């Protein structure tokens, strides 16, 4: 599993400083470009202005007008005395997210965290209630396939409610992903405000929550390339998101542990859903997606091969949901007021996250200590 990197090119070669390097599995390479002094920048500006004026004096008026129009159309990439255009821009435009090997993609198992107390039972019950309600509204019957389903025509399986067609799958995924991006942002917002209010560090929770929120949003952006929702569907999303955001916001203030457990159970359902989607694809029950190329945004985001198909996208999304399942169930086992986020510096690979439901508190502590040893800290 790879940590994504960012590299910014410096246009002032003589003034760049060496990069700040590696934090365990989270490789972050940055080249810093210090600001020029006022005298240097003003001298450069004067020379540039004089040079430009000299060139302009020898050009016909029509040519000067044409170049002026071109600069207006390309103002963001036209160098001026006040700004410079980078000679090279490489790297990610998103926060950290895992990039999985082919072995990791296949190592995911459908797991369940047994409730430990009343709060866990409430969280699990709410997720089951939410799923049942959504299945009822969307018409999803969740019927087990008959033993000889491979001999049945696909349309007959769809008509009798055994499987979904590609449009039904997309609507289901779009709705779920539009809601799934809410909890991470709520948790990050509240912990950010708490850190400001109490004037103390957050122990690494905020960034992990933000990564989760953006990762879920990128799932939505990926599937949005396949279908643009209708206005009624967008209205449904608007209402559901507003209600869920406020309920989760108030709930997180009362009990962060229960909220992380709730998200862990929610991600269990997501892993189950995408596992079923993969099974249907491999059985040829969604022929519309069999040879469909992966959207360009997914190839860039998950570093997929250029010839990747939709099934490769579903595998990557399922692995992301497995990561969220593991992280949230692990955070629910910690004390949110004092414990350090064990995933602030690095994360286990999918061979761990895919086969283990969570870290217990003592396992999380040992993982943090191991991270410190790898960093050379005490």
Residue 324 assigned as binding residue: yes
Residue 177 assigned as binding residue: yes
Helix axes 166-180, 118-138, angle to 10 degrees: 140
Buried b vs exposed e over 144-156: b needs ≥16 C-beta within 10 Å?
eeeeeeeebebee
Residue 370 assigned as binding residue: no
Whole-number Cα distances in Å, 19 to 24, 197, 338, 358 = 15, 33, 32, 35
Is residue 298 within 8 Å of residue 313, measured between CB atoms?
yes
β-partners of residue 179 are none
Residue 267 assigned as binding residue: yes
**Per-residue three-class SS string for the chain:** CECCCEEECCCCHHHCCCCECCECCECCCECCCCCCCHHHHHHHHHHHHHHHHHHHHCCCHHHHHHHHHHHHHCHHHCCCCCCCCCCCEEECCCCCCCECCHHHHCCCCCCCCCCCCHHHHHHHHHHHHHHHHHHHHHCCCCCCCCCCHHHCCHHHHHHCCCCCCHHHHHHHHHHHHHHHCHHHHHHHHHHHHHHHHHCCCCCCHHHHHHHHHHHHHHHHHHHHCCCCCCHHHHHHHHHHHHHHHHHHHHHHHHCHHHHHHHHHHHHHHHHHHHHHHHHHHHCCCCHHHHCCECCHHHHHHHCCCCCCEHHHHHHHHHHHHHHHHHHHHHHHCCCCCCCCCCCCCCCCCHHHHCCCCCCCHHHHHHHHHHHHHHHCCC
Residue 329 assigned as binding residue: no
Residue 56 assigned as binding residue: no
The binding site consists of 177, 216, 219, 267, 321, 324
| Binding annotation for Fe cation | 177, 216, 219, 267, 321, 324
């Amino acid at each position: 599993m790879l940590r994504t990197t960012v590299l910014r090119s410096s246009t002032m070669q003589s003034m760049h400083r060496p990069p700040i390097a590696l934090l365990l599995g989270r490789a972050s390479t940055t080249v810093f470009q210090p600001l020029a002094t006022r005298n240097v920048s003003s001298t450069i500006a004067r020379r540039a202005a004089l040079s430009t004026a000299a060139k302009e004096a020898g050009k016909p008026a029509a040519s000067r007008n044409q170049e002026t129009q071109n600069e207006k159309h390309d103002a963001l990439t036209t160098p001026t005395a006040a700004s410079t255009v980078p000679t090279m821009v490489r790297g990610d435009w998103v926060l950290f997210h895992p990039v999985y090997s082919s072995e990791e993609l296949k190592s995911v198992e459908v797991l369940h965290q047994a409730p430990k107390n009343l709060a866990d039972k409430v969280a699990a019950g709410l997720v089951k209630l939410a799923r049942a309600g959504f299945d009822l509204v969307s018409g999803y019957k969740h019927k087990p396939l008959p033993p000889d389903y491979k001999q049945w025509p696909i349309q007959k399986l769809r008509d009798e409610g055994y499987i979904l067609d590609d449009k039904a799958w997309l609507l289901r995924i779009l709705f779920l992903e539009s809601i799934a991006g809410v909890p991470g942002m709520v948790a990050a917002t509240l912990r950010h405000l708490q850190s400001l209010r109490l004037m103390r560090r957050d122990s690494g929770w905020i960034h992990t929550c933000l990564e989760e929120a953006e990762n879920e949003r990128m799932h939505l952006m990926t599937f949005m390339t396949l279908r643009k929702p209708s206005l009624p569907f967008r209205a449904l999303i608007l209402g559901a998101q507003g209600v869920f955001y406020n309920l989760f916001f108030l709930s997180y203030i009362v009990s962060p542990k229960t909220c992380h457990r709730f998200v862990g159970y929610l991600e269990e359902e997501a892993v189950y859903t995408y596992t079923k989607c993969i099974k249907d694809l491999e059985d040829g029950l969604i022929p519309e997606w069999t040879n469909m190329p992966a959207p360009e945004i997914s190839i860039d985001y998950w570093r997929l091969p250029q010839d990747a198909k939709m099934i490769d996208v579903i595998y990557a999304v399922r692995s992301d949901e497995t990561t969220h399942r593991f992280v949230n169930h692990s955070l629910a086992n910690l004390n949110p007021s004092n414990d350090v986020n064990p995933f602030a510096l690095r994360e286990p690979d999918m061979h761990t996250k895919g086969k283990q439901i969570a870290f217990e508190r003592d396992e999380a502590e040992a993982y943090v200590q191991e991270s410190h040893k790898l960093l050379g800290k005490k």
